[in-house]
């Protein structure tokens, strides 16, 4: 075996062990069923909005249908200088008491909008979601019920892509579920590395004290997680409940998908947390090695056996994580798309890693770097 073979297989084996640790973490987290709440605490739901005329009505309808008492719910929507009919739709919506705030002219971006909204809220408990999301009627009850029982500082809850109309969106959803599984599994072993701002509950105080790296366009959620982790590592929980699922739309085009993933990757330069840096480098390295061996096999047939062995080891670990996660999220049929995703994944990861660090992207008609 050559030195390259040792490097490739070593990286893949370490990757597999880490994923199996996430599987253990996922299995440690017990399924949660909301309990009857005797005294309903006041909660604030804060949403940043920009150019969401196609989505905002569905979110408002979902929030209006929540079983949680309306008088105990404060809904704050912060408009980030929308250029469409978003504000008009919010103002005309009936059946829900919404505080609509406009972000001051000297501020812009999702982070600024969320900070503005949360600082204006009146509750000790804050929940964030996105303007393009929907949720079931028991979503808020399940989030608050879990908080009252365990009193964590930060609750990370599941997000699922829906609807899935074509092969591209099914592949996208399976990849997204791998992130949900990895993030929740890491929380299960008390090494949190990721979350999604589309479904977070936290105490307002930890947000006000968090270092959110405001010079980066993305990361309002992950920087909050990493800030909380420094003091409250074991008080960051994943809520494993189907009632707590938030649904968000998948990217409609390949370009939209890559812009989103590049935006997510762009904040990685600000990470100072050992766990997240180690995992990110390991994933990038192992997938780079797989991509290299597959390409190199066209010039040297010996590399094809290295690629096959590497992808086999990686697949065993990934399947061990994805099977229970897809079953829990009620999408086990997505595993039929596992094989093609495994072949495409190394090239996708290498591209987004490079583009996210060195490139720029557009978001809501804004060009960002």
For the chain, what percent of residues have pLDDT higher than 90?
Answer: 79
pLDDT for the residue 208: 87
Residues 235 and 307 in one domain: no
* In a domain? residue 262: no
* In a domain? residue 181: no
Residues 216 and 304 in one domain: no
Residues 99 and 212 in one domain: yes
* In a domain? residue 175: no
pLDDT for the residue 211: 67
pLDDT band at 291 (very low <50, low <70, confident <90, very high): very high
Average pLDDT, the chain: 92
Q: Which two tokens stand for residue 258?
A: 């890559």
Angle between helices 338-358 and 254-266 (to 10 degrees): 60
pLDDT band at 272 (very low <50, low <70, confident <90, very high): confident
Residues 237 and 352 in one domain: no
CA distance 149 to 175: 32
Structural domain for 200, as ranges: 31-167+188-252
Among 202, 223, 252, the domain boundary falls at 252
pLDDT band at 369 (very low <50, low <70, confident <90, very high): low
* In a domain? residue 259: no
pLDDT digit string, tens, across residues 155-175:
999 999 999 999 999 999 999
CA distance 287 to 281: 10
pLDDT digit string, tens, across residues 6-19:
888 999 999 999 99
- Overall number of domains in the chain: 2
Instruction: State mean pLDDT over 345-362.
Output: 79
CA distance 236 to 30: 15
Residues 294 and 237 in one domain: no
Least confident of 14-23, 181-190, 201-210: 201-210
pTM to 2 decimal places:
0.94
Residues 133 and 244 in one domain: yes
Least confident of 39-43, 102-106, 250-254, 260-264: 260-264
pLDDT for the residue 215: 63
Dihedral angle over CA of 87, 88, 94, 96, nearest 10: 10
pLDDT for the residue 269: 77
Contact between 327 and 238 (Cβ < 8 Å): no
Residues 245 and 152 in one domain: yes
CATH code (residue 231) = 3.90.550.10
* In a domain? residue 178: no
In the predicted model, is pLDDT for residue 50 greater than 90? yes
* In a domain? residue 235: yes
pLDDT digit string, tens, across residues 75-89:
999 999 999 999 999
Comparing 352 with 69, which gets the higher pLDDT?
Answer: 69
In the predicted model, is pLDDT for residue 367 greater than 90? no
* In a domain? residue 180: no
Contact between 139 and 66 (Cβ < 8 Å): yes
Residues 228 and 328 in one domain: no
Residues 246 and 346 in one domain: no
* In a domain? residue 182: no
In the predicted model, is pLDDT for residue 358 greater than 80? no
Residues 104 and 231 in one domain: yes
pLDDT for the residue 3: 85
The dihedral region occupied by 314, where left means phi > 0, alpha psi between -120 and 50, and beta the remainder, is alpha
Residues 216 and 237 in one domain: yes
Residues 230 and 339 in one domain: no
Q: Strand (E) positions, the chain?
A: 43-49, 73-79, 98-102, 125-128, 133-135, 154-156, 159-161, 200-203, 236-238, 246-248, 361-363, 366-368
In the predicted model, is pLDDT for residue 101 greater than 70? yes
Contact between 224 and 270 (Cβ < 8 Å): no
The bridge status of strand 125-128 relative to strand 43-49 is parallel
């Amino acid at each position: 075996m050559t030195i390259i073979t040792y490097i490739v297989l070593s990286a893949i084996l370490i990757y597999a062990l880490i994923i199996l640790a996430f599987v253990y973490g996922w299995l440690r987290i017990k399924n949660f069923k909301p309990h009857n709440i005797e005294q309903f605490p006041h909660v604030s739901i804060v949403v940043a909005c920009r150019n969401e005329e196609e989505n905002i009505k569905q979110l408002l309808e979902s929030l209006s249908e929540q079983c949680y008492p309306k008088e105990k719910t404060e809904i704050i929507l912060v408009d980030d200088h929308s250029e469409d009919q978003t504000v008009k739709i919010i103002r005309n919506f009936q059946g829900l008491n919404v505080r609509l705030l406009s972000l001051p002219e000297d501020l812009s971006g999702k982070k600024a909008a969320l900070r503005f909204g949360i600082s204006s809220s009146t509750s000790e408990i804050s929940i964030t979601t996105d303007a393009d999301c929907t949720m079931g009627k028991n979503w808020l009850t399940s989030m608050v019920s879990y908080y009252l029982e365990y009193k964590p500082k930060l609750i990370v809850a599941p997000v699922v892509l829906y609807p899935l109309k074509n092969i591209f969106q099914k592949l996208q959803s399976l990849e997204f579920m791998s992130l949900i599984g990895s993030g929740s599994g890491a929380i299960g072993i008390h090494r949190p590395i990721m979350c999604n701002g589309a479904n977070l509950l936290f105490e307002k105080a930890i947000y006000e004290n968090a270092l959110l790296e405001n010079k980066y366009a993305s990361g309002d959620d992950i920087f909050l997680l990493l800030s909380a982790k420094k003091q409250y590592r074991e008080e960051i929980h994943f809520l494993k409940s189907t009632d707590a699922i938030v649904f968000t739309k998948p990217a409609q085009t390949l370009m939209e998908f890559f812009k989103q993933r590049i935006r997510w990757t762009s904040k990685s330069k600000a990470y100072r947390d050992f766990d997240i840096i180690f995992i990110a480098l390991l994933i990038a390295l192992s997938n780079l090695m797989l991509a290299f061996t597959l390409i190199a096999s066209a010039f040297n047939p010996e590399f094809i056996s290295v690629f096959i062995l590497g992808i086999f080891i990686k697949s065993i670990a990934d399947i061990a994580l994805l099977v229970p996660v897809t079953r829990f999220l009620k999408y086990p049929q997505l595993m039929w798309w596992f094989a093609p995703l495994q072949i495409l994944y190394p090239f996708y990861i290498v591209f987004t890693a490079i583009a996210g660090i060195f490139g720029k992207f557009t978001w809501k008609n804004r060009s960002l770097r």
